[in-house]
Amino acid sequence: MVEITIRKRPREEELQAQRKFFRKTRKGRVIKVLRERYLRDDIGCGVSQCSLCAALPSPGQAPALPLSGSPHTQFPTGHHLLPDTNAFLHQMDLFEHPAFSASLIVLQTVMEEVRHRSLPLFNRLRNLVRNGADQEGQGCWVFWNEFRDETAVAREEGEGPNDLNDRAIRKAAAWYSTHVAQALSSRARPPPAVVLMTDDAANRAQAENASIPSLSVRQYVAGLAHAAELGDVLSVHGPADDSAAKGAERGGRPALYPEYWPAATVEAGVKSGKLFQGFFNPSQYNYLEGYVNSQAMGRPILVIGRTDLNRAVAGDIVAVELYPESEWKAPGDEVVDQDVALANDDADDSEGEDASAAAETERRLAQREAADARDVARRNPLERHPTGRVVGVVKRNWRAYVCHLDAASLSSSARTSQAQQTVFATPVAANLPRIRLRTRQAPALVDQKILVSLDRWDITSRYPEGHFVRALGRVESKEAEQESLLLEYEVPYRPFGRAILDCLPGEGEAWIVPPKTAGSVVWRDREDLRELIICSIDPPNCQDIDDALHARPLPNGNIEAGVHIADVSHFVLPDNAMDTEAAARGTTVYLVDKRIDMLPSLLGTNLCSLRPYVERLAFSVIWELTPDAKIVNVRFTKSVIASKAAFTYKDAQTRKDDLKQKDPLTESIRLLNSLAQKLRAGRMAAGALNLASPEVRIQMESPESSDPVDVEQKEQLETNSLVEEFMLLANISVAAKIQETFPQTAVLRRHMPPPPSNFEMLQDVLMKRKGMSLDISSSGSLAASLDKCVDPAEPAFNILVRIMATRCMRPAEYFCAGSVSRETFGHYGLASPIYTHFTSPIRRYADVLVHRQLAAAIDYTPLHASLHSRQHVERVLNVVNRRHRMAQMASRASIEFYVALSLKSRSERASGGVREKAFIIRAFRNGVAVFVSKLGLEGLVTFKREINFDPEAYSVKVPSPSGGEVALSVFEEVEVEITVEKDVNTQRGKVKMVVVHPIDSRSL
Ligand SMILES: [Zn+2]
C-alpha cells in the first residue's frame, strides 16, 4: 500500500474536520473517540505527469495512472475508473483477471470499508494495488480522499454511514474529473473521463444528477476489449437474502426451498438452546444427506433430504432445528450418486425444474424414506440419529472450487459457439452441489480443470449459481491436477516473498556454526555435544532432518539417551515476516511428487537439517534411564552437535542386526533399540492403542519421472519404532516441563476419548457377523479387545478392524493449556496424561512455539510477549489445527491420484481391470462399500437390480447364476475388479469397482 507521512500542522485553523464515533470497550463501557484529521492540499492524484501535482513532495511512490487514462468504447477520450466498495467486495476476480486493465483509482474510503467488511478481500485488494504499480499499460492508485481538503466530507445530520461513504465517493469522482481536466487544459484533446463504477442504481442516479459518468459493473465490462472473457468472471451477486428475492424478483417461479429464518431469530434460538449451530458435513454416500456437528448436542445431527438440507454447503456454519425424538431416523441405506441422479438435468431450465430428472429421483427417495422411518422403529434403535432441518446459515464458508465443466449441459447448438450459455460445473469434491454458471467460453473449457466461485443460492433455484474464475489446465495433466489439489485443500503454495527471504541469515548456504569463542553469541549457554556419537534415522531421501539421537552407558550402570532436535527457533524469530508466514502455513505439506515447505528451503533442507558430518545447532533432551527404561532424570539444553551418520530405517536395521559390527555407532543403536522396546512395552501396558491407517507408498520408476510403477504398503521395521518411542518420550518430557512453567499458555496436544456412540455400529456389526466384542470403556480395554479381533482364516481382518476403529476416533488437536480443564489434557491413543509436539519444528509450526516456550522455561531466552497471551496462542493454534487437517487430506488425495494412475497403467498392460482382494465394509440397499487394503482404497459397488437387503444382518442377498442366493455381508472377503474410467461428461477419472467373486456383480 502507498504510505504517506502526515505532517501535523500546529496552526489551529488547519484542524478542519473531526471524526467522532462511539466505541464499546471490552468491559462494556461506551467511550467517545475523537479522531482529528489534518486536511491537506498536497495529496497527489496519481496521474503521471499531472502538471498540477508535479510540484508536490514525492509521496514515496511514483504516480501510476496513465495521463490519458485507459481505453473503453463508451469513453473515446480515455477514462480513469473509480469503483465503489461493493464493486471490490463482489467482483475481485474481475480486477485480478490478467486481461483486465484499467487506470484504477482506489479511494481511501473504499479501502477502509473493504477492510472492515472482509479481511481476505482487503488483502487481495492490497495485492492488487501493489501489483498494479508494476504493470504495463494499467495503473492503480490509492487516493487519500479523506485527507485532501477538497474531497473530505463531514457527516451530515441524520446521514447513515453508507450514504456518507457514497457521497464521499461521488465527491472524489467529481474532484478528479475537474482536476484531470485542469491538468490537461493546455492540450487540444478533451480530457479522459472519470467513471464511477457502482451496481447501486440509486447511487448511479445521484451521480448522473451531478454529471458524473457512472456505469454498473456489467455495463462497464461490456465496453472493454476482452468483454467476453471478462464477462465470465463476474459474480452473480444480487439479492443476498431470501426476503429480497420475494415477489417481483422471483418472477413467479415457485420456491424450491424454505426461506431462512431472520438472523436475529436464529441467533436467539441458538442462545436459548432451541436451535443447534455447527459445521455442515455432507454424507459421502448420499448427496441428499448430511450431518451437523453441534457441540451443544454432543453427537452429529442428521439432516435428510433436499428441503431439510436447505442449501447448506460443505463447511457452512448452519443452524438446525431438531425434530421430536419420535421422528429421528437412521441414515439412509442407499447409495445416491449426484452425477448419476442428476445426469439429465438441464442447466438452463429454470421453469420446469419440478419436472426434472432430479426432482423425480428425489420424490422416489422421499417415498423410500417414509418406509425407512417405519423400518427404523423395529430396527436397532442405536442406529437412529438426532434428526433435524436447516433453518438458517450463520456463516457461509464458500470459496473458489475446482470443477469440471459438464459437457452434457452444453446446449448442442452452442458446443462450438462463443454465445453465452448456462452450463453446469461439477466440483471435484463429490460432496458439493453442482454449480450453475454462465460463460461464453464453454467449448474451450470442456477438457479443463477450472476454478469456480460460488455466488448465491436462491430459494427458486435447485442449484447454486457461481462464476468462472480461471482455467487450471488440461484434465489429468500433472500440473493441473497438482494445483487443483493445493487449491482444493487451501494449501498456501506461493513461493516465499522477498520480505520472508530477507529474514534468512545473510551468509545463505555458506552459513556455519561460528567458532567456539568466549564472546560468541551463538555459543552462549549452549552445550558442546560435538563429540557425542549422534546419528539420524529417517525414511529414504529425507532432506529435512528434524531429529537425531544418541545413547551411551554411564559408569553407574544406567544409560544416557539423548534426542536432538533442529534449533529452528534460533533462526525463526517471533513476529518477523518469516515467522508470520510459517504460522499461516502451519505445516509442511507432503504430496507424492512435491513438498510444500513451511519454511524456506535454506533452513529446512540445510541450516536446520541435522545433516551428518557438519556442525548444527540443536535443542537437546537428555535422560538418564535405568536399563529397564525408567527415567532417573531429564534435562533440556541448547546445544551444538555433529551427527556421525544419516541412516535410513533399513540401513539402521541391517547394521543393528549384523552382530559382527561392534563400533560405538552400532552399539548406540542397539542400546536405543533395547530401551525403545521397553518403553513401548510400558506404553502398551498403560493402555496405548495400536491403531492402523491404510498407509501405502507409491513406487516411482525413477526420482525424475512421475509415473508410478506400483503401489506398495509401508513396511514397519524395528528401527521405525525405535525413533517413534524416543520422539514420544521427548514430546512427553517437554510437555510436562512447559506446562509446569507456563500453565496458562503452554502449547500442548491432546486426543480426546471418542464418544461411545461412535462405536455403536462397529460394535454391533462385529458382534453380529463375527461374534466379537469391543470393550471401549478405556483405551486399555479397547486395545486389548482389538487384539482379540483375529480371524485365523483372514489375516488382514485384524488390520481392517483397526482401520475401522481409527475412523471412530476423534482427531488429535493442539490446544492452549489455560483454555481447557486439566482433566481433558490426556492423549487417549498414546495413553499419556500430557503430550505436545517438540520434535519436528522444521515442518510443524506448533513445535516452533513449543521450542520458544521450552527455551524460556530453561531461562535461555525470555518468553516473547505474544506467548504470554492465551488469546494469541489460541488463535495461532486454531489455524495450525485446520492446516494440519487439510494437509493430511491433501496428502491422501495425492496418493489416491497416483493409485488411480498406477491402476490405469496396470489395467492397460493387463488389458482389463486389476483384480484385488477386498473386504466388504458396509452394505446398502443397492450395493456394498468395499476396502482394498493393499491399495488403501475404498470403493462402492452398486447394483442396478433390486436385491434382498437385510440391514439387521449387514448383508445383501443376491441371486446366484447357479440358482439360490449368495450373501454379501460386512467383513466378508471378496474379489473385485478395478478400472479407471473417464466420465464422458466431466472428463474426470473415476475408480470403478465390481465384485467378481463369489459372484459377478455386473450381472446384478
Ligand atoms: Zn494531479
For residue 394, the SS3 value is strand
Domains contained in the chain, number? 6
Same-domain pairing of 925 and 984: yes
Has residue 6 got a pLDDT over 50? Answer: no
Same-domain pairing of 682 and 613: yes
**Residue 108 CA to ligand 1 centre (angstroms):** 16
Of the candidates 86, 115, 105, the residue with the CA atom closest to the CA atom of residue 212? 105
**Residue 115 CA to ligand 1 centre (angstroms):** 26
Output b/e per residue, 866-899; b: 16+ Cβ within 10 A: bbeeeeebeebbeebbebbebbbebbebbbbbbb
pLDDT of residue 698: 64
Query: Which pLDDT tens digit goes with each residue over 701-712?
Result: 554 454 555 666
Has residue 813 got a pLDDT over 80? Answer: yes
**Residue 48 CA to ligand 1 centre (angstroms):** 8
- State how far the Cα of 344 lies from the Cα of 53, in Å rounded to an integer: 62
Where do we find the cell 457512472?
Answer: 214
**Residue 50 CA to ligand 1 centre (angstroms):** 5
Strands 535-538, 645-648: pairing is parallel
- State how far the Cα of 343 lies from the Cα of 341, in Å rounded to an integer: 6
Residue type, 767: M
Same-domain pairing of 707 and 615: yes
Strands (E), 99-208: 103-107, 139-143, 193-197
If phi > 0 it is left, if psi is from -120 to 50 it is alpha, else beta; for residue 441 that is alpha
Region 494-517: mean pLDDT is 91
**Residue 52 CA to ligand 1 centre (angstroms):** 5
**Residue 152 CA to ligand 1 centre (angstroms):** 16
**Residue 121 CA to ligand 1 centre (angstroms):** 28
- State how far the Cα of 333 lies from the Cα of 924, in Å rounded to an integer: 5
Region 247-266: mean pLDDT is 77
Lowest-pLDDT choice from 228-232, 287-291, 379-383:
379-383
814 located within any domain: no
The separation between CA 156 and the C-alpha centre of its own chain, rounded to angstroms, equals 45
Same-domain pairing of 626 and 550: yes
**Residue 179 CA to ligand 1 centre (angstroms):** 6
Domain that holds residue 920: 913-997
**Residue 198 CA to ligand 1 centre (angstroms):** 24
- State how far the Cα of 657 lies from the Cα of 663, in Å rounded to an integer: 13
H or E segment and range at residue 205: helix 201-209
**Residue 54 CA to ligand 1 centre (angstroms):** 7
**Residue 218 CA to ligand 1 centre (angstroms):** 29
Tell me the CB-side half-sphere exposure of residue 166, using CA atoms within 13 A.
18
**Residue 183 CA to ligand 1 centre (angstroms):** 7
For residue 535, the SS3 value is strand
Same-domain pairing of 758 and 738: no
H or E segment and range at residue 581: helix 577-585
pLDDT of residue 541: 84
Here the CATH number for the domain that contains residue 973 is 2.40.50.140
816 located within any domain: no
Sheet holding 289-293, edge to edge: 301-304, 289-293, 275-282, 317-322, 388-395
pLDDT of residue 596: 93
**Residue 818 CA to ligand 1 centre (angstroms):** 56
Same-domain pairing of 123 and 171: yes
pLDDT band, very low/low/confident/very high, at 898 (cuts 50, 70, 90):
confident
What are the cell numbers at 922? 458396509
Has residue 984 got a pLDDT over 70? Answer: no
Query: Which pLDDT tens digit goes with each residue over 274-287?
Result: 999 999 999 877 77
**Residue 347 CA to ligand 1 centre (angstroms):** 50
pTM above 0.95, yes or no: no
Here the CATH number for the domain that contains residue 321 is 2.40.50.690
Asked whether the beta carbons of 454 and 398 are under 8 A apart, the reply is yes
Query: Which pLDDT tens digit goes with each residue over 179-238?
Result: 998 888 887 788 999 999 999 999 999 999 999 999 999 999 999 988 888 888 888 875
Asked whether the beta carbons of 530 and 640 are under 8 A apart, the reply is yes
Residue type, 714: K
H or E segment and range at residue 590: strand 589-591
- State how far the Cα of 399 lies from the Cα of 4, in Å rounded to an integer: 34
**Residue 927 CA to ligand 1 centre (angstroms):** 72
DSSP states of 318-357: EEEEEPPGGG-BPPPSS-B-HHHHTTT--TT--SSGGGSH
Helix intervals (H) in 610-752: 649-657, 664-685, 718-741
Residue type, 751: H
pLDDT of residue 361: 64
Region 481-494: mean pLDDT is 89
Strands 973-982, 79-83: pairing is unpaired
32 located within any domain: no
47 located within any domain: no
Domain ends where: 362, 395, 428? 395
Lowest-pLDDT choice from 1-10, 380-389, 666-675, 977-986:
1-10
**Mean of pLDDT over the chain:** 84
Looking at the chain, the whole-number percentage of residues with pLDDT higher than 70 is: 84
pLDDT of residue 171: 94
- State how far the Cα of 432 lies from the Cα of 315, in Å rounded to an integer: 10
761 located within any domain: yes
**Residue 192 CA to ligand 1 centre (angstroms):** 13
**Residue 223 CA to ligand 1 centre (angstroms):** 26
**Residue 474 CA to ligand 1 centre (angstroms):** 47
**Residue 60 CA to ligand 1 centre (angstroms):** 15
pLDDT of residue 44: 84
Has residue 610 got a pLDDT over 70? Answer: yes
Query: Which pLDDT tens digit goes with each residue over 936-950?
Result: 888 888 887 767 888
- State how far the Cα of 405 lies from the Cα of 756, in Å rounded to an integer: 43
If phi > 0 it is left, if psi is from -120 to 50 it is alpha, else beta; for residue 96 that is alpha
**Residue 137 CA to ligand 1 centre (angstroms):** 19
Query: Which pLDDT tens digit goes with each residue over 92-151?
Result: 989 988 888 899 999 999 999 999 888 888 988 988 887 765 555 568 899 988 888 888
400 located within any domain: no
Same-domain pairing of 579 and 659: yes
Here the CATH number for the domain that contains residue 466 is 2.40.50.700
Has residue 857 got a pLDDT over 90? Answer: yes
- State how far the Cα of 404 lies from the Cα of 424, in Å rounded to an integer: 9
Cα-based distances in Å from 358 to 250, 509, 764, 990: 21, 60, 35, 22
- State how far the Cα of 403 lies from the Cα of 985, in Å rounded to an integer: 12
The residues, any chain, with a CB within 8 Å of residue 376's CB and separated by 6 or more, are 328, 329, 330, 383, 384
- State how far the Cα of 430 lies from the Cα of 403, in Å rounded to an integer: 10
Domain ends where: 336, 362, 395? 395
Same-domain pairing of 275 and 160: no
**Residue 114 CA to ligand 1 centre (angstroms):** 25
**Residue 143 CA to ligand 1 centre (angstroms):** 11
**Residue 43 CA to ligand 1 centre (angstroms):** 9
Domain ends where: 395, 417, 449? 395
Cα-based distances in Å from 272 to 265, 268, 275, 325, 788: 10, 6, 8, 19, 46
Same-domain pairing of 695 and 628: yes
pLDDT of residue 51: 83
pLDDT of residue 535: 96
**Residue 166 CA to ligand 1 centre (angstroms):** 22
Same-domain pairing of 696 and 766: no
Neighbours of 703 (CB within 10 A): 8
For residue 828, the SS3 value is coil
**Residue 78 CA to ligand 1 centre (angstroms):** 16
**Residue 84 CA to ligand 1 centre (angstroms):** 21
Same-domain pairing of 917 and 991: yes
Asked whether the beta carbons of 278 and 292 are under 8 A apart, the reply is yes
Neighbours of 619 (CB within 10 A): 29
Same-domain pairing of 209 and 327: no
511 located within any domain: no
390 located within any domain: yes
pLDDT band, very low/low/confident/very high, at 329 (cuts 50, 70, 90):
confident
The separation between CA 609 and the C-alpha centre of its own chain, rounded to angstroms, equals 27
Looking at the chain, the whole-number percentage of residues with pLDDT higher than 90 is: 43
**Residue 2 CA to ligand 1 centre (angstroms):** 16
Torsion on CA atoms 486, 398, 130, 223, rounded to nearest 10: 110
